[in-house]
């Protein structure tokens, strides 16, 4: 640990001045530049992570908000489509499932959940092959969302 040349107070290597006496420190080194934490993530990986069941919506929001993928239409398409699939899953869990308990006990909510999970897995496979496959309803919404941004 370096010390101040005037008063001997401990200072860090990044301190430009001593906090006790105010003397300029000769060994000032500039802090390292801030790196984008998404630099190591490829567009293919980002697209696949958009469809992770249950938690992929977090990755979708990160991809849509990041500067790294702002111009990549494929990643943005997968992020929007992943978000729309997550919303469908939520609507099933919060709307359809309670309605199924009120009426005749048909396993419609379980079939819908299974269909959404199958779409998530199918889209993970398509995204891993760099294919921007458009699901019937969700893909159209995703394409519109990418075109608007």
Among 31-35, 71-75, 85-89, 128-132, name the one with the lowest average pLDDT.
31-35
pLDDT tens for 92-121 read 999 998 888 877 777 888 999 999 999 999
Query: Alpha-carbon torsion 39, 125, 134, 86, what sign?
Result: negative
Contact 80, 142 (CB under 8 A): yes
Q: What pLDDT shows up at residue 46?
A: 97
| Average predicted confidence (pLDDT) for the chain | 90
Contact 22, 4 (CB under 8 A): no
Is 1 a residue whose pLDDT tops 70?
Answer: no
* Interatomic CA distance for residues 37 and 141, integer angstroms: 29
Domain boundary assignment for the chain: 1-34, 43-148
Q: What pLDDT shows up at residue 104?
A: 73
Q: In the beta sheet, which residues pair with residue 24?
A: 17
pLDDT tens for 50-68 read 999 989 999 999 999 999 9
pLDDT tens for 129-148 read 999 999 999 999 999 999 99
Q: In the beta sheet, which residues pair with residue 3?
A: 10
């Amino acid at each position: 640990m370096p010390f101040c040349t005037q008063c001997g107070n401990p200072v860090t290597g990044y301190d430009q001045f001593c906090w006790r006496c105010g003397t300029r420190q000769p060994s000032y080194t500039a802090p390292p530049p801030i790196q984008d934490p998404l630099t190591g993530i490829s567009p293919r990986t980002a697209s696949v992570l958009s469809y992770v069941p249950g938690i992929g919506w977090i990755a979708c929001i990160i991809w849509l908000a990041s500067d790294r993928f702002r111009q990549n239409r494929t990643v943005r398409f997968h992020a929007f489509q992943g978000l729309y699939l997550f919303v469908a899953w939520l609507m099933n869990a919060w709307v359809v499932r309670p309605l199924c308990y009120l009426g005749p006990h048909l396993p419609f909510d379980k079939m819908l959940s299974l269909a959404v999970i199958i779409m998530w897995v199918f889209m993970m496979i398509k995204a891993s092959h760099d294919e921007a496959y458009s699901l019937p309803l969700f893909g159209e919404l995703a394409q519109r969302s990418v075109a608007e941004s």
